[in-house]
A = this chain, B = another copy of it.
Amino acid sequence: MNYQQLINEVYSEVQSLQLEGIVANYIPELSNVDIHKFGISLVTTHGEVYCIGDTQEKFSLQSISKPFTLAMVFASEGEALWKRLGVEPSGNPFNSLAQLEYENGIPRNPFINAGALVITDILRSKTNTPVEDILLFIKKLTNTDNISINQKIALSEMAHSNRNKALAHLMKSFGNINSSIDELIETYCYQCAIEMACTELAQAFLLFANHGHNRLNGDQLLTISQTKRINAIMQTCGFYDEAGEFAYTVGLPGKSGVGGGIAAVLPGEFSVVVWSPGLNSKGNSAKGMKALELLTTKLGHSVF
């Protein structure tokens, strides 16, 4: 398979479709990004890198930071982790608090906000420098020091975090959060405000295509089984209320963020990142969804 040709074709076809979407606007700092940005980077488990479009420009990870914190915490906690959250899809766009209340403060999975907050809470209990540790974890996967946090976005998110604070307080009322809420939300907002370029993110995400092995320095960060399990959770829970749709049309484990990025893997083969800031009605990158659908269709290959 000529991957460069593949992503070139995907890129042109998606561009011709004139998909637009809407840039995330719940905080002003996210809405300033140019909606026409579009890039695709694919990195194979052999280390080959293929790019097209705006793949060197930084964008906000947002929820794509969640698989990394999950990996860090899963590696240290092992299966004991699942006492504090589940691995089932939430299926509820409309009432995240309702579900959390009904299920006694145990989030359904690590990729809904409530679950990601629990992961961050565990991470905070292991270190005094959680944000620095997350950055270091990612830098080692990308072999660069040029990964940082957009302070403006982090601060703006902290100023618009009432709903996440509601989730955190509700979980704390059930005894499932140990940090102070303000400190937890601060760490969480910093983590979401990490910025990376497509290629950097594809390199970092290769961890999940490469059986938990950091190709750059030889570290085994996750066991094969843990990597498979994170992929399974990404497949069933990685796309808000569109996880089924993504499995259906694309057929790869992946994770999206409201910054417009989508990262996905074909285990054993490659990781791929698409970035385009225009979001569809479910909050996933419109061009990103289409690009990955075309990619697995043209490839004739997905996990299914």
Contacts and interface: CB of A to CB of B under 8 A. Distances in A.
Interface of A: 86-92, 94-102, 108-109, 162-163, 165-170, 172-173, 181, 224-225, 227-229, 231-233, 235-237, 241-245, 247-249, 251, 253, 267, 297, 300, 302-304
A300 B243 contact: no
A206 to B, nearest CB: 15
A86 B244 contact: yes
A170 B97 contact: yes
Contact of A244 (B101, B102, B166, B236): B236
Contact of A89 (B99, B172, B244, B297): B244
Given A166-B170, A236-B235, A247-B236, A304 B228 contact: yes
B102 A95 contact: yes
15 contacts: A88-B243, A88-B245, A95-B98, A96-B101, A97-B97, A97-B98, A109-B244, A165-B166, A229-B248, A231-B251, A231-B304, A232-B247, A233-B244, A236-B244, A236-B247
A303 B300 contact: no
Contacts of A227: 304
Contacts of A224: 300
A102 B97 CA distance: 10
A107 B163 CA distance: 16
B94 A91 contact: no
Instruction: Tell me which of A108, A231, A244 has the highest count of chain B C-beta atoms within 10 A of its own C-beta.
Output: A244
B162 A169 contact: yes
A170 B91 CA distance: 20
A154 to B, nearest CB: 18
B88 A244 contact: yes
A109 B95 CA distance: 19
